[in-house]
Structure 1
Amino acid sequence: MNMDNRIPSVIREFTDQPAMRNVLSFLAFEDWFAKKENEAKDWIVVARSWQERATNLFTFSALASAAKGNLERLLSKPDWDIDLEFGKPYFYSHGDEKVAHYDSGMSTEIDGIEFRPFIIYRYFHDFVPNTFELVQNFILYHEAFFVPEKGEYYRIDDDGDIQPIVRIKQENDNRLVLVDVHHLKDYLAANQCYLVRYHDHRRRALEDISEHIGGQFASYTLCDKSSSFELWLRTDIPWNNYKSASRLLGKDVVFPYSEPDKRHTWFATGEREKKFATFIIDRNEQGKDIESTCNEKELSNYFTDRGTPHFLTPVFFKREVLVKYYQEPSRYRVGNSGVGCLDLWHLPIDITGEELVQVWLGDLGRIPYKEQLHWRQFNVPPRGTITRHRWLRDFMAEFADPTDDPIYYFRVAFEEVQREARARYGEDLFQGLDEKDRHAYETLHLPLTEEWKEFDEQVQALAKVTVDSLNVNLLSRESGQKIDGSSIRGSIELLGIYLKEIGVTEDIRKQIMYAMHAIQTIRSTGAAHRKGSNFNKALQRFQLYNLSNREKVKKLVTDLTRALSLIAEAMRQTGTSC
């Protein structure tokens, strides 16, 4: 460790007495100084009340104007400029006057320096634990939101990334607030302020250090270009078995960026850092890939020929490019015509007959650069062409169903049977999923890979949406039967009795029951349990054995879609609307 000249020389003099050297080092907070917290590159402590054995650390923060000359005045003395009540509104009076004046606590001027609160210290007379709170202005500046179970504030950046900017840790009576350095310095730059961290740290030791400090009390001033402290070493206030004590009182400064993050100001300055990846759009006669930027300002369009590829040049990707987006449905939406992140960006897509994801070249330039890089990993040379429904949709401005997307038709059939059930019975045939399970329906898709993990996930999702969600109360009421575990073992058998009750013929019932049993059996023998001989028998029974995992799920979905359509048709033909 490099020698810190702020550490009193009395400590360095005891190199021949390691035990006492360690005691003095401890009491002088040498380890704490070595961390240089105010110069951290990741997280900075902005508030702290933390006690561990013989150490008690306390930190409080405020904003101070970064006007010329203020730094020198701030560090001219180690005293706190403000107290723990700073930032709270209060009433006061001058001298003997009997008029109460109100101060909002939003700012104050001390020794010619304007101070504003950053941390508010809340004290509740020991009724509930004391707390530190960040000023709301910082939270609003970054549009942050609090996640209670993590004790963290998060912000969503322009690309859709969700990142923590504040961490609040509490262990019993210990409290710690840390702020991400980048977001703190950005905020300081916008406010043209320093963050002043005020410290009042205390330590105790069992050893008597009197002879090493020349008496019962010694005081040292410890300063550098960004801090000012006073260190007390003393033995005149023994406590329990502790014979020596120390106190470190003072402050250090966190400096702002020279200017705020450009994401706040680009609309006015025009300075926005936008980068563009290149994508494979063709192959030349020698088999070499031909690439092009996706920057629409450099692409040709219907109005301007720049001698470059057209905005609407088709670009193709392996379907695995979508895996990332299906895995996080709370942030991303994937449909048969596009991928989007919240309300921040949207990328129109299509699935071709070659089972590739197709995107227009210019559209790729409208998504964040890091997303472009993600797509670039799965970029392949052109194979096949665009689909007819994309031609109709994008060039003829006509609505067109994606005729080769079984998930689309499954959803159409599912919503149709739900509408018919509500019309006839006033409630759904399949009970709605809880918010925590909605992803099962929203992320249904044919497997993008041949991984069994993805196969299992889609089978379980199909089962959860259909057979697991059958409205048993409705089926029992309308059929006059109940699940008894013997003649009627489960919801699928009850569905069959209901269908017979409303007049569905045996051959139609068999088709419906086949599809329902298929998804339940495949889930039970493989997706939800260890795969073995029963799973292989189930694959053979439902004609899935020699198919790829993608084709397995496709057949299950197609059969379920047919079953749902048959149920809806039966309800429509045999029922009377409420």
Structure 2
Amino acid sequence: MTKTPLDDFLEFIDQKHGEESWVSLYKKISKDDKSEDGILYSTLVSQNATERAMSQSSWDLMLGGGAPGFVIGSENGKEVVTYLPQSDSEYRRVVLYREFHGRKDNYFEISEEFRLFHNLYLDQKSSTYLAFDDAGDEIEVIKMTPSEIKIRKRYLRSFMAATQTNLLLYFEVTRHFTSNIHYKNDIKTDSLCVTLYSGKSYSEGFSFFARALGKKLIRCEPIEKSGIWPFTQAKSYEDFIISGDLDSPIAYSCDPDGLANYFGANPHAPHYLTPVFFKKEVMQKYYSSSDYEISDGHLSRKGSWSLRLDNNTSGYVSVFLGDLGRDLPSKEQIYWKSFNLIPDSHSISETNYQRSFLGNFYDPESAEHQFKHAFVDVQEACSKVFGWSIFLPLADKDTHFLNSIRSMLTCEQSEFDALILAVAKITIDSVNVKELRKHLDQGDESKSIVLLELFLQNLGIQNHDDFSSFLRGVQSVRSSGVAHRKGTEYDKVIAKLNIDKDNYQAEFDEILSKFVSLFKAIVKAI
């Protein structure tokens, strides 16, 4: 390329503009010392109009157009008025500039067609348009600031392929100099059309300017490259260990179309219902985010995907091989694969066996699911009999405490502390003190555990003393070691409750089971 006073800018246009991961569809160019100013803009152009557009360096349209309107022509000697969805005809703007001529502030917006094509969501706080991939993860597609609008290249190329339109990247940049500059030149290639010229500067403190005006062409790919149905890429499938041992693990693809079933398909392949086992820690990612819902035998991401799984076993979870392929997005399969276990002596739970193979209704075995089921039952029973629930509903910002309750995934002290806090928050801390005081005719001095003790006694529950001691023990663990700094008092409480600090997983399951017994006793009594 011929050397010019704007050589570095032209090199950027030629080599990088439109080729990087993010493409500037609009950008205001300026320097604080007034030595440079300019603008980048863009549009999509039809195949028919592309060669005509590239025959000259001047822009084919300006910022403020693109709105619907009428055009007047003639047909058989008569005037014909035609309505056009966009007045630019052969051009399709992705970025539109809205002008209100001083009545309101002007602003940029993204074309409705583009937003709907990719089903983009506008995050108004960050002025960012988002898409969601198969796994439900957010992807920034468009970033907007007052001085620049950038779009992720693969989403722009996808739209170009679908509409079979090419991209015109307009540019105009002016640099100012104190020394005399006289320059004029044209650059013309298959993808670049530029006019270079100079003149007297209009910027204070400078004598002359050099300006580059032109456009760059990026052609669209075939329509099959749009990546949108029916041109979506084939889903990829991971291999998972289904048998063997540590020395010779045997893995097989989870592609459901390649597995055997009860109808004679792929007789030499593993069966669709072959269980695959995973470390319990695979669930940590999902428990730690409110974006996911975990229930008895089911995991889902809101508005995205769902998976049947067996989470009623202790120490591991399992999923049928075919379900991994059918229900998990490819990137989630990769995540699960990192937790894949050798089957060894593992087996599915009785709950899963009864439900999946015998078609029976079967109560969960896991203390986690038993707790949540029993908690709902006791709330509903009290509401039905007394007109109020024994535990107050959680505030919106506290609902994560109920969702987070689970069998422990590790034996870490931090996880035990967090779960003790959660279970105390939704039970002891949420006792419906006001209604219990009225029901038991108690004064305002009575506290939550005292009221629960009296309530259990009032219901005639025989072992109410044991339940009361248990509740006080949980409250003591929370108060002495979770809500405050740990010390000798915490060690005494742990010892008094016979909690094995080396086996927090089993101990917390036992705590959940005792709560289940309490809830069931209340339901039975009322």
Q: Distance in 1 between matches of 2:15 and 2:435?
A: 66
2:515 is matched with: 560
For the residue of structure 1 that corresponds to 2:126, the secondary structure is: coil
For the residue of structure 2 that corresponds to 1:60, the secondary structure is: strand
Long gaps (5+) in structure 2:
none
Long gaps (5+) in structure 1:
12-23, 573-578
For the Cα contact (< 8 Å) 2:121–2:131, is it kept in 1? yes
TM-score by length of 2: 0.86
Taking a change above 3 Å as real, the CA distance of residues 346 and 29 of structure 1, as seen in their structure-2 partners, is closer
> Deviation per CA, 1:532-558, whole angstroms, max 9, x where unpaired?
434333322333244522123212322
Quick check: 1:412 aligned with 2:373? yes
Q: 1:108 aligns with which of 72, 80, 88?
A: 88
For the residue of structure 2 that corresponds to 1:365, the secondary structure is: helix
For the Cα contact (< 8 Å) 1:79–1:249, is it kept in 2? yes
For the Cα contact (< 8 Å) 2:312–2:366, is it kept in 1? no
Q: 2:165 aligns with which of 181, 187, 193?
A: 193
Quick check: 1:428 aligned with 2:389? yes
For the residue of structure 1 that corresponds to 2:505, the secondary structure is: helix
Q: 2:492 aligns with which of 499, 524, 537?
A: 537
Q: Distance in 2 between matches of 1:477 and 1:60?
A: 71
Question: Which segment is superposed worse, 318-327 or 301-310?
Answer: 301-310
For the Cα contact (< 8 Å) 1:353–1:384, is it kept in 2? no
1:165 is matched with: 141
Q: Distance in 1 between matches of 2:229 and 2:296?
A: 36
2:363 is matched with: 401
2:295 is matched with: 335
2:223 is matched with: 259
Q: Distance in 1 between matches of 2:477 and 2:241?
A: 40
Q: Distance in 2 between matches of 1:398 and 1:149?
A: 49
For the residue of structure 2 that corresponds to 1:264, the secondary structure is: coil
For the Cα contact (< 8 Å) 2:161–2:226, is it kept in 1? no
Question: Which segment is superposed worse, 458-467 or 404-413?
Answer: 458-467
C-alpha displacement of 1:391: 2.0
For the residue of structure 2 that corresponds to 1:390, the secondary structure is: helix
Q: 2:179 aligns with which of 196, 209, 221?
A: 209
1:227 partner letter: L
1:466 partner letter: T
2:202 is matched with: 237
Taking a change above 3 Å as real, the CA distance of residues 90 and 310 of structure 1, as seen in their structure-2 partners, is closer
Q: 1:122 aligns with which of 85, 98, 105?
A: 98
1:133 is matched with: 109
C-alpha displacement of 1:370: 2.6
C-alpha displacement of 1:413: 1.8
Q: Distance in 2 between matches of 1:555 and 1:491?
A: 22
1:78 is matched with: 57
Q: Distance in 2 between matches of 1:245 and 1:525?
A: 75
For the Cα contact (< 8 Å) 1:262–1:272, is it kept in 2? no
> Deviation per CA, 1:69-100, whole angstroms, max 9, x where unpaired?
x44322222211112232223467789xxx99
Quick check: 1:390 aligned with 2:352? yes
2:216 partner letter: D
Q: Distance in 2 between matches of 1:39 and 1:253?
A: 11
C-alpha displacement of 1:192: 0.3
> Deviation per CA, 1:88-115, whole angstroms, max 9, x where unpaired?
23467789xxx99674442534xxxx11
For the residue of structure 2 that corresponds to 1:320, the secondary structure is: helix
2:254 is matched with: 294
Question: Which segment is superposed worse, 534-543 or 100-109?
Answer: 100-109
1:362 is matched with: 322
Taking a change above 3 Å as real, the CA distance of residues 480 and 39 of structure 1, as seen in their structure-2 partners, is same
For the Cα contact (< 8 Å) 1:299–1:309, is it kept in 2? yes
Q: 2:186 aligns with which of 221, 228, 234?
A: 221
Taking a change above 3 Å as real, the CA distance of residues 125 and 450 of structure 1, as seen in their structure-2 partners, is farther
C-alpha displacement of 1:224: 4.3
For the Cα contact (< 8 Å) 1:313–1:360, is it kept in 2? yes
C-alpha displacement of 1:471: 3.4
Taking a change above 3 Å as real, the CA distance of residues 419 and 546 of structure 1, as seen in their structure-2 partners, is same
Write the mapping of 1:352-501 to structure 2, written as runs, cut at 5 A: 353=313, 355-366=315-326, 367-382=328-343, 383-402=345-364, 404-479=365-440, 488=446, 491-496=448-453, 499=455
Question: Which segment is superposed worse, 246-255 or 369-378?
Answer: 246-255
C-alpha displacement of 1:223: 4.6
Q: 1:308 aligns with which of 264, 269, 280?
A: 269
2:192 partner letter: S
1:36 is matched with: 16
Q: Distance in 2 between matches of 1:252 and 1:38?
A: 9
Question: Which segment is superposed worse, 339-348 or 99-108?
Answer: 99-108
For the residue of structure 2 that corresponds to 1:252, the secondary structure is: strand
For the Cα contact (< 8 Å) 2:158–2:226, is it kept in 1? no
Write the mapping of 1:29-68 to structure 2, written as runs, cut at 5 A: 29=9, 33=13, 36-40=16-20, 42-49=21-28, 51-53=30-32, 54=34, 55-67=36-48
C-alpha displacement of 1:569: 4.4
Taking a change above 3 Å as real, the CA distance of residues 290 and 237 of structure 1, as seen in their structure-2 partners, is closer
